[in-house]
Amino acid sequence: MHPVRPIAGLVLLAAASAASAHVSYTGRDFIINGTFDGVGTYTLNEQRVRSNYGWADAADADWGDSHRGRFLRFTLTEAANVTIDVAAQSGAGSVLGDLIPGFSLYSGVVPNLAHEGSDAPGYVANHPGFLPTSPYFVENGSRVGDKEGAWRALDSFWLGNDAGESAEVVHLGHAFDGNGIDVSDDGVTDLVGDGNPDGRVTAQFLLGPGTYSVVVGGASYISQYTEDAATLIANRAFSASITLAPVPEPETWALTAGGLVMLALARRRRQTLA
């Protein structure tokens, strides 16, 4: 069994940076103003995400903290074959370059400054397991309710902000670097990675017109128990790109309600973890 996670240190840092740490897509649009010219590669360099465990921690039964993910977005005005690539980048100063990247793709975006424990109506209704009090964890290390955040890496999730705005993003797929993750802590791997732990992960999707979120985080589940306090929440640097190609034979694929048919990545069954 793993030792109790050192969450007290997390709380202090989260509180100190809470005003700027909530979800923001500003400066994280792959395609500026939603313009789509049919083909091309769009890259966001020198992105950062705090911790090396956020994605994996959002893949387990008690969900994860959206502050440990980096939210990127793009808009397609027509259907496209989209390759998403995320790679660790060398860091500068206190920014580390050791990210084991994972990402999830969602249809839609959440409102600016969305966060766990927001004042948006419906927060508790959309987060079974949270109690109707503001903080989603407290300073003695005990969580309020049985969820540690609202981010779900393997499923859709809902977030709101203190202005009362809210939205659900619909999970379309995910991929992560490495040989697999044991998110139920029983010694058995639950999630299969890309099999090549090289700091990079790539997956391909057929997408219809619409706006999409790509949420990037660390896929090192074990690091939340093994890293020292400073390393645990250190920023990790990464680059992310999307490459668009025309859809070759539109009659051979059908748009789902969410506008997606997956190509290279078999959709994982929804995880119900004991």
Binding site for Ca ion (CB under 5 A): 57, 60, 62, 64, 177, 182, 184, 186, 188, 190, 194, 196, 198, 200
Alpha helix stretches (DSSP H) within the chain = 7-16, 18-21, 54-57, 223-226, 229-232
Look up tokens 């997408």; give the residue.
207
Q: Which two tokens stand for residue 47?
A: 């992105």
80 or 233: whose CB is closer to Ca ion? 233
31 or 191: whose CB is closer to Ca ion? 191
Q: Which two tokens stand for residue 154?
A: 């393997």
CB distance 66 to 50 below 8 Å: no
139 or 198: whose CB is closer to Ca ion? 198
146 or 198: whose CB is closer to Ca ion? 198
Q: How far is the CB of 196 from Ca ion (least distance, A)?
A: 4
162 or 185: whose CB is closer to Ca ion? 185
Helices (H) and strands (E) in the chain — how many of each? 5, 10
Q: How far is the CB of 116 from Ca ion (least distance, A)?
A: 12
Q: How far is the CB of 173 from Ca ion (least distance, A)?
A: 16
Closest by Cα among 170, 20, 30, 174 to 101: 174
- Between CA 120 and CA 54 the distance in angstroms is 23
Q: Which residue is nearest to Ca ion (CB)?
A: 184
